[in-house]
Structure 1
Amino acid sequence: MSKTEIVQVEVKRHSIFRRSLLAACIASASAGSWAQQADSSEALEEVVVEGVRGSLMNAQDMKRDASTVSDVISASDINALPDKSVLEALQRVPGVSIERFAAAEDPDHFSIEGSGATLRGMVQSRSEFNGRDSFSANNGSGLNFQDVPPELMGAVIVYKNQTADMIEGGIAGTINLETRKPFDSNGQQIAFNSAVNYTDMREAATPDFSGLYSNRWETDAGEFGFLISAANSNLKVSNNSIQQGVPELREISGVGERWVPINVGARQVDQDRERTGGSMVFQWADNDGTKLFTAEYVRSDAAQSWLEYAFQSDNTVGLPSADSTYNDRRFVSGTLEGATGYNSYTRQSHSNTLVEDFSLNLELNPTERLQVVLDAQYVDASTEVIDLSVYGHTAADVYADFGGGTPDVAFLAPSASAQTSEEYFTDPANFFYLAEMDHIEDNEGKEAAFTLDVDYELDKGWFRSVKGGLRASQREQTTRWSTYQWGVLSADWAGGQKFFDGVHDTNPWDGQPGTDTYAAPEYGTVDFNDFFRGKTTGIAGGTVLAPSPNLVQSFNNYRSQLKALSPEWFTSIADRDGLAEGPFLPDEINPITEDRFAGYVMAEFANPAETLSGNIGLRYVDLSYETTGGSSFDPLDDRLPLPADDIAFFNGATTSFDDKVSDQHLLPSFNLKYEIQEDLLARFAASQAIAFPDMGMLRSYLGVYGIVESFDTDNDDVEDTAVVTDYRAGTGNSRLKPMRANNFDIALEWYFSDVGALSATVFHKDISDFFTSGAFPREITNNGVTRIVEVEGPVNFGDGQINGLELAYQQFFDTLPGAWSGLGLQANYTYVDSKSVPNQNLDSQEGGNVEVAFESLPLAGMSEHTYNLVGLYEYEDISARLAYNWRSEYLLTTRDVITKLPIYNGEGGQLDGSVFFNINENLKVGLEATNILDQVTETRMQVDEDGTKLDRSWFINDRRIAAVIRMNF
């Protein structure tokens, strides 16, 4: 049967099984019927099923029938979610924006497929698998959507408001990932999907594979169903970036005051991602239609690594040449001369994330009016990260021209060098090993949850049913998160430089030979020949030396080679004093137990004509945390001439302590839907919701450290005076309360055809108890010494509002003649505005305060305007899609770790597309393309309280093309 044939779907008007809306929609779009028990009097419905139309029709039906404000992405074809990842698919939903950097706090590293989603301008959304809790084992509280194989999904449902039977935790909304079940379709289904991805900068071809087998059997013991699916996806991509250093306001002779960057840097990153997932589902229904049992296992396993080469500096100052040019505000072009501290560094990061979800569900229908559902779930999650860096060091001049779109940058040999630039950057005598940085994470989390729901249908009056339920869960999570430990390997103040050529020199670049030789670690070359697709010069000669990637491939190799190079200075995180477990200090280990108990009651109502319907309910939540932590006092360098009391205070001591807190909440909700006419409905939704702090904010720890300033008073290159200028501490806060929000939505939805809708939603949120940073002085005594310490950490503070508008439209133009009738369009637009909403300004990893340079910053992660335009075509055997996503400028981070300044992501969009051809009713081939327009992503840094913004970085990444084969039987 072809995709365009009419399918007869049996619909049981008073089915005892109240199947999920997803199951009903998938069944209606599949090539067969939902084969439930049905007698001859049951009606038949006719449903026209087509590929893209089927998906959009399902999503439209689910949105229309939902009990609160929502949006849906549906995949009626198996393994056919319309984007390459769940996160990429989410960006098409009104109100959702995705982050394209590796993390919002890290604006220097681009991501393969994004790293997180904001919903209506906020990150506090809740993530679910099949309406149940789900999370990744990190310092956050939810799921990393980019780690979930999209091939496992039947639908993604974004709830914008709450009903009482929904699990608490999302004030922005709830994002529910629905997997497929064997009873979703009729009889046997076999699906196979294979693709080859090609990335044009990396010039790498990698495979994707997914497969599914589903079947159901009627027996004397009842009906049985079984489904098994598996998916594996590999991707290799690259990105290049150009980055200006911290700007300085300089007085330029004959010009006046102008902002001038102290340096310019270049970075290449190769990223490898492998995502593996699978699911196994068993279902059984008895023959009399009173019992339905479902057992399901879902596994998501993601591994990602990136290898980075950078030629840049955090603080090297180069002075503009006399022939430099300027506009009325800043440096435009010229040479920055005399920068003696460029880093040529190599960095490798490996991460593995695993989430396993086991669930059992029993649905009982003892009478036609009474339904009882028992549900049990167990989640086991883990995350491991190893991040290693080795920094080489050299001198360089740099030419830069920022007068056009993409900057033109050329790194040059210092003017004092007799070598050409090509000779200079490939001579190991010009590079020494400056420093290293290591970081490790080893996290695991487990959760067990049990749910009881009871639903009783009433036979008359406005109230149609009463529903109630209980849920109990316990989540145990241990996060082990080491600091990013920077350590010197060699420097003039550390006894001299150890150069790549194996020579020790106490005075680099003075033209005099070194005095000592040694066995240096490996170094390699980095190819900058086609940097930024050849749109900028890069490094003269095309190559530059850098520490070998072999140094950062494994932690053991890293430790052994750097220890041999610098035995007097190198200390890895695994070699520190006072370790409690593996390479972790006591205050880097964060065990938390969360116990949650919830109960709800909800009534569903409708008028006799069923034109007015809705629900009203109340949810009670009892939440408690038990945390184990400790305090630590970072030791000072005893080689510096510091006062004895300060050395005694910062003695490296550690202690441990426990804390336990509890909190209770009542969360009312009310949802109303009014059918103005058959195809036009209005909604009103009001609810109170809470969002929980990230696990990292709840850490029971106190890390005390000192800021040291040292002086050389007699010009003999020896520090003879040192003082502690600041006594500081970072802390977590196990007594943080959840954020609270009053949510209101008013929506108007017009469904003018099976695949045709126009909707408008106005939303308002009153939010209180934000998670933000606080600082206060505290008297702390250690080792007999007392100091006044400025303690910084997370607190609840303030209240604010978020208001917005969402518009959405979709339609196929079926009335057009012939092949033109295959044209379709999807479009949506979101406007978001915040008032008095404080930025979080917290590091959820370390739990501490993040100081910001300026006040009155906008809400991080929130674009005021976003829109999607998707052109569709489906006619006979051809289907195509061209999707453009755009968002306005937004604050990426309140404080960049390097510049210490706020960084903004510039406005911009990305164009993706696909085209498929049906060879026959079982076989489809196609092409998918991502980043068709070769988008350049720009960031800007705010440099003063007045809001002046200057260019910071330019990023370019691969265009991706995939050749796809899909088979369904």
Structure 2
Amino acid sequence: MRDSGSNYSSNKSDTSFNHTLLAVCIAAATLGANAQETQTAGPLEEVTVEGVRGSLKNARDIKRDAATVADAISASDINALPDKSVLEALQRVPGISIERFAAVEDPDHFSIEGSGAALRGMAQSRSEFNGRDSFSANNGSGLNFQDVPPELMGSVIVYKNQTADMIEGGIAGTINLQTRKPFDSDGQQIAFSGALNYTDMRGESSPDFSALYSNRWQTDVGGLGFLISAADSELRVSNNSVGQGAPQLLDIPDVGERWVPINAGARMVNQDRHRTGGSLVLQWANPADTTLATLEYVRSDASTTWYENAFQSDDTVGNPSADSVYTDDRFVSGTLQGADRYNSFARRSVTGTLVEDLSLNLALHPTDRLQMAFDAQFVQAQTQVLDLSIFGNTRADVEVDFSGDLPEVNFIAPAGVPQSSAAYFTDPANYFYRAAMDHIEDSEGEAKALQLDMEYDIDRGWFQSLKGGLRASERKQTTRWSTYNWGVLSETWAGGQKFFNGVHDSTPWDGQPGTGTYPAPAHDVFHFNDFFRGNTPGIAGGTILTPGAHLLADHHTFRSELGRIFGFNSLKDRNDLVDGIFTQPEYNPVREERQSAYVMATVTSLDDALTGNVGLRYVTLDYTTSGGVSYSSINASLPLPADDLAFFNGDSYLTSSAASHSQWLPSLNVKYTINDEWLMRFGASRAIAFPDMGMLRDSMGVYAIVTEVDTDGDGIDDAARVSDYRAGTGNPFLKPMTAHNYDVSLEWYFNDVGALSASLFYKDISDFFVSGAFPRAVTNNGVTKTVEVDGPVNLGDGTVRGFELAYQQFFEQLPGAWSGLGLQTNYTYVDAKSVPNPNISTNDGNEVAVAFENLPLQGMSEHTYNLVGLYEYADVSARLAWNWRSEYLLTTRDVITKLPIYNGDSGQLDGSVFYNVNDHVKLGLEATNILDQVTETQMQVNDDGTRFNRSWFINDRRIAAVIRINF
């Protein structure tokens, strides 16, 4: 990644400063993100809680003392969140489910540790560091949790409703990452952790380590605190998948109409993740304990590289053999013959993200009743992506059997070929270089925020305090996101085919056969054998040839070699570049200016049984966006109609837009303490969620899908045509989504760790963000075409409702070692009604067709639960955690099939066991994906809800040997 300068994300211990460490920790965790409360100074004393019990107790106390409905994860041991990433830890929280795919629009690529979190079925949650906004510089509006080192976290708090002093932006809720402070403990703290991770499919090991030093001193000028922490983690994993292509409805002789997949394919991906991070914190409290200053710097730097080999076809159709087997509605097994274009491709994608966050918080307690806090924050973020693909091509038939739990796929030589399948697929004379594609992103953003909070303790009757504040922020983000630049390397209709063996079949369409040679790049040999650990034949005899990985080493090699050998034009070779390698529509600066003010009253009954807060927040939002419109350029030598060549002439021009929005956001939260163990809550608020930055692009890129055509019926493609006119665009005038949120909960805290809670929630939501494809008449260079435009809009109203149950306890009443047994479990039910989530496309290029109207809310599982067995006795602690979610809609419109894709029911079992060698050293083993889970996806083919399997994924089991040292 190139140096973008300082990047900062802030840490705000905005709390009402109390006189014990426990109060400080709880208030900072609970109120810092949720309430952004004023810090004041006071004497501190250490409260020590350790081990699994300590973590559960801290999380329970955060929930109990929160000003609104909340749940939490706590790490009582330094550098000891219960999972290997923040995102994996979040899946244990009631109401949260995590995404396992790299992107929702791309359900063909599994992810290492997940890629996003849904809270109560919705992705529109707000992410923050220590109560302040933070973000990653991509097309989103929040933080990539999977890129944050979990070793830096002291706790993660999930707020599910709002108070007036919370920063706006989360309809589903707010997820606050709390880092550690030197005043969290009394005196010196030294901690180190190290781990060696082994992944069984990849068969490789990789290290983790983290270290922390913290100390505090009492001096003549007051209390001083210093903390520094660092973390570095590597992970190398693999995943394999088998899939079938989009189905077609065929009339089978003597059988009738049946759905038949057009083809089948296989994919293998190696992923490498490297994540580093650190924090530096300085704290000072004056001798009178009336002032507390906190200066903090947090850095998170992550990179992910994945290398992929696949053998599949996205568009060529195989015909079922006569001996194929069918059910009442679909093809089950047989041979798909005559699919003459199978891509044998290699792909390398590298993503780097950097977030840096600098904050200063000054908390004052000038009088016994008045508290003030001033907070300043500066964040810088950067994202870079390089994605390179090369497609080889060959003919193939495929034998498939989808009747069992796992698929069986066997690629065979096409009919009439004299070679055996093994010889055919390893002969470079049977593969030619078809196409290549590059994609680049280079985005950065920065944000500045100032906030002033004041709170006055009234303490008269029911009124405890009155609080108010002002906040102003400015966020500038420049997204540079190129098109996926597909270009032909060799084809019958573009100068002939260039084969892996160096032969150039240059036969013209209307002339005599001609052959020659060319300097063919080296190719690779790739094996698809033993695809599912021997549980299925997988790709029987599946050794194929792929383009050489050396061509994907970097963009310079990719561009120069493919340009020299094939005349390929990379992104850098395009016309009208305005910012490095980007065209005007790909260069999108967005400026967001936000101002907010709030007032909130805290009330308490005379007997302290009834407490709560009522408040009003006002926010104004101004967007300024820039962009452009561009038209791709088509090689004029291709035999295309003159109007297509004129329309796609590579022209571009500038555009800009501005939009303003304002909202009043009232909130009410009431907590009634029935007795020492039981309490009830009620929360009501109006909340908003902002569109992702990528949705606001003021740009449109118009491009062509060119396909080959057999015009004379001889079975040989002899012409080309534009089969689709497409464009991608943003919408700078999107309004924020709005919701009225209601929560009711009953909570029972029956001992130091034990808790049982039940919550009901209801959200009435307006102005959903919906993406679809719409026809638009577009004119360029005197030619008008109907273009299918993909873009976001605000659409409709809907409701999300459900309930949550959570329980945790150690069974200390059992005798002896049995008293170490414990249980933690939770269950969430979510139901969405009238949510506008259609799959929208064009019909015959002239009108909108809503292909699937009654789709569920994307990313929402109706049922989610966690079941965690715990054990902690003497020097041994262990955990066995099962996480399960029911099926859910991955995407309304897959980029390949254009169909809705669902993730099936799925669960994962993880575990750990630790042994305390002494008071300072702990050894352990951690295991992830113990049961070797197979993940299945399905595609919906009609509005009646008919679905067929799309893909089957299997990924590594991970084992880590861990050492933790604390002083």
TM-score range, shorter chain: over 0.9
Deviations 1:276-303 (A, max 9, x none): 0000000011111011000000000001
Q: Which AA in structure 2 matches 1:96? A: I
In the TM superposition, 1:480-519 aligns within 5 A as 480-505=480-505, 515-519=515-519
- Indicate conservation of the 8 Å contact 1:435/1:489, yes or no: yes
- Aligned: 1:897 with 2:902: no
Match of 1:7 in 2: none
The alpha-carbon deviation at position 22 of structure 1 amounts to 5.8
Q: Secondary structure at the match of 2:349?
A: strand
Alpha-carbon separation, structure 2, partners of 1:404 and 1:875: 44
Give the counterpart letter for 1:581 in structure 2: D
In the alignment, which residue of structure 2 is the partner of 1:108? 108
Residue 586 of structure 1 deviates from its aligned partner by 0.4
The residue correspondences of 1:596-611 to structure 2 (distance < 5 A) are 596-611=594-609
1:959–1:710 Cα change, 3 Å:
closer
Q: How far off its partner does 1:417 sit?
A: 2.1
Work out the CA distance in 1 between the residues paired with 2:966 and 2:90. Answer: 25
Conserved 8 A contact 1:390-1:547:
yes
Residues 706-855 of structure 1 mapped to structure 2, 5 A cutoff: 729-773=727-771, 781-784=779-782, 793-839=791-837, 853-855=851-853
- Deviation of residue 715 (structure 1)? 6.2
Match in the other structure for 1:170: 170
Match of 2:474? 474
Indicate how the Cα distance of structure 1 residues 573 and 129 shifts in structure 2: closer, same or farther if over 3 A, else same: same
CA distance in 1, matches of 2:21, 2:424: 79
Q: Secondary structure at the match of 2:861?
A: coil
- Classify 1:182/1:23 alpha carbon distance in 2 versus 1 (closer, same or farther; 3 Å): farther
Partner Cα separation in structure 1 for residue 370 and residue 754 of structure 2: 36
Determine the C-alpha separation between the residues in 1 that align with 2:613 and 2:697. 39
AA partner of residue 881 (structure 2): A
Q: How far off is 1:369 after superposition?
A: 1.0
In 2: Cα distance, 1:621 partner to 1:289 partner? 34
The answer to whether the 8 Å contact 1:22/1:155 transfers is no
Q: What secondary structure, in the 3-state scheme, does the structure 1 residue paired with 2:919 have?
A: coil
Which piece of structure 1 moves more, 246-255 or 855-864?
Answer: 246-255
Q: Secondary structure at the match of 2:63?
A: helix
CA distance in 1, matches of 2:832, 2:663: 25
Distance 1:369 1:323, change over 3 A: same
Distance 1:719 1:398 in 2: 22
Q: Which residue identity does 1:678 align to in structure 2?
A: D
Match of 1:621 in 2: 619
Contact 2:49–2:55 at 8 Å: present in 1 too?
A: no
DSSP 3-state at the match of 2:896: coil
Partner of 1:8: none
8 Å CA contact 2:838–2:850 kept in 1: the answer is no
Q: Rate the CA distance shift 1:22–1:423 in 2: closer, same or farther, 3 A.
A: farther
Q: 1:726 to 1:310 in 2, by over 3 A?
A: closer
Alpha-carbon spacing, 1:842–1:686, altered in 2? closer, same or farther (3 Å) = farther
Counterpart among 26, 51, 57 of residue 21 in structure 1: 26
**CA displacement 1:712-736 (0-9 Å, x = unmatched):** 6556999999887876654322111
Match of 1:575 in 2: 573
Are the equivalent residues in 2 in contact too, given 1:811–1:826 (CA < 8 A)? yes
- The residue type equivalent to 2:650 in the other structure is G
Q: Counterparts of 2:54 and 2:30 in 1: how far apart (Å)?
A: 9
Cα distance in 2 for residues equivalent to 1:618 and 1:378:
26
| Deviation at residue 790 of structure 1 after TM alignment | 6.3
User: Does structure 1 conserve the Cα–Cα contact (< 8 Å) formed by 2:838 and 2:855?
Assistant: no
Q: 2:30, 2:65 within 8 Å by CA — same for their partners in 1?
A: no
Deviation at 1:778, TM superposition (A): 6.0
Task: Name the structure 1 match of 2:269.
Answer: 269
* Separation (CA, whole Å) in 1 of partners of 2:28 and 2:605: 27
Using the aligned pairs only, state the percent identity.
Answer: 68
Letter in 1 for 2:218: E
Q: How many Å separate the matches in 2 of 1:114 and 1:351?
A: 15
Contact 1:161-1:687 at 8 Å conserved across structures = yes
Local SS of the residue matching 1:537? coil
Aligned AA (1:868): N
Q: Provide the C-alpha distance between the structure 1 equivalents of 2:204 and 2:27, rounded to a whole number of angstroms.
A: 37
1:612 aligns with 2:617: no
In structure 1, which of residues 956, 959, 969 is the aligned counterpart of residue 957 of structure 2? 959
- For 1:899, give the aligned amino acid: T
CA distances 1:768-820 after superposition (whole Å, capped 9, x unpaired)? 01112477776655445566766553222211110111110111101011111
Name the stretch that deviates more: 206-215 or 331-340: 331-340
Change (3 A) 1:323 1:789: closer
Q: Which residue of 2 aligns with 1:336?
A: 336
Residue 536 of structure 1, CA deviation: 3.0
1:241 corresponding residue in structure 2:
241
Kindly tell me: are residues 417 and 362 of structure 1, through their superposed partners in 2, closer, same or farther at Cα, counting changes over 3 Å? Answer: same
Aligned to 1:187: 187
Cα gap change, 1:429/1:889 in structure 2, threshold over 3 Å: closer, same or farther?
same
- Aligned residue type for 1:242: V
Amino acid corresponding to residue 311 of structure 1 in structure 2: F
Distance in 2 of aligned mates of 1:916 and 1:924: 7
Q: 3-state SS of the aligned residue for 1:628?
A: strand
Instruction: Tell me the residue number matched to 2:3.
Output: none
AA aligned opposite 1:668: P
What is the aligned partner in structure 1 of residue 883 from structure 2?
Answer: 885
Q: Is the 8 A contact 1:502 1:520 kept in 2?
A: yes
Q: CA deviation at 1:49?
A: 3.4
- Alignment partner, residue 351 of structure 1: 351
**2:164 and 2:600 in contact (8 A); partners too:** yes
Q: Which moved more, 1:398-407 or 1:272-281?
A: 398-407
Contact 2:773 2:840 (8 Å CA) reproduced: no
Secondary structure, counterpart of 1:452 in structure 2: strand
CA deviations over 1:862-881 (Å, ceiling 9, x no partner): 01001000000000100000
The verdict on how the C-alpha distance between 1:238 and 1:789 changes in structure 2, with shifts beyond 3 A counting, is closer
> How many residues in Structure 1 have an aligned counterpart in Structure 2?
936
Matches within 5 A, 1:291-330: 291-330=291-330
Are residues 1:678 and 2:683 paired? no
Aligned pairs for 1:103-502 (under 5 A) are 103-502=103-502
Aligned-pair CA distance for 1:409: 1.6
Is the CA contact 2:245–2:897 (under 8 Å) kept in the aligned structure 1?
yes
What are the residue-to-residue correspondences of 1:633-648 with 2, within 5 Å? 633-640=631-638, 644=642, 647-648=645-646
How far did residue 373 of structure 1 move? 0.4
Q: CA deviation at 1:613?
A: 0.3
Matches within 5 A, 1:642-681: 644=642, 647-681=645-679
Q: Distance in 2 between matches of 1:149 and 1:160?
A: 24
Q: Which amino acid aligns with 1:388?
A: L
CA deviations 1:185-219 (Å, max 9, x no partner) are: 11000000000000000000100000000000111
- In the alignment, is the contact (CA less than 8 A) between 2:494 and 2:638 conserved in 1? no
Mapped to 1, the partners of 2:252 and 2:548 lie a distance apart of: 41
* Cα distance between partner residues in 1 of 2:168 and 2:806: 27
- Alpha carbons of 1:23 and 1:423: their partners in 2 closer, same or farther (altered >3 Å)? same
Unmatched 5+ stretches in structure 1: 1-10, 27-35, 844-848
| Kept after mapping to 1: 8 A contact 2:247/2:259 | yes
Amino acid at match of 1:943: V
Structure 1 residues 853 and 562: alpha-carbon distance in aligned structure 2, compared to 1, 3 A threshold: farther
Name the amino acid aligned to 1:618.
Answer: L
CA distance in 2, matches of 1:708, 1:410: 30
1:502 to 1:292, Cα distance in 2 relative to 1, 3 A = same
On the 8 A contact 1:16/1:289 being kept in 2, the answer is: no
* CA deviation after TM superposition for structure 1 residue 650, in Å: 3.7
**Structure 2 regions of 5+ residues with no counterpart?**
1-15, 32-40, 842-846
Stretch deviating more after TM superposition (380-389 or 897-906): 897-906
After superposition, give the CA deviation of every residue in 1:483-518 in whole Å (9 maximum; x if it has no partner). 11211111222222111100012579xxx9972111
- The residue identity in structure 2 corresponding to 1:952 is R
The residue that corresponds to 1:33 in the other structure is none
Q: CA RMSD in A?
A: 2.7
Paired with 1:842 and 1:754, the residues of 2 have a C-alpha distance of 53
8 A contact 2:859–2:890 mirrored in 1: yes
Aligned to 1:67: 67
Cα separation, partners in 2 of 1:261 and 1:356, compared to 1, 3 Å: same
Tell me the secondary structure at the aligned position of residue 587 of structure 1. Answer: helix
CA contact (8 A) 1:914 1:928 kept: yes
8 Å contact from structure 2 (residues 296, 358) kept in 1: yes
In structure 2, what is the equivalent of residue 945 of structure 1?
943
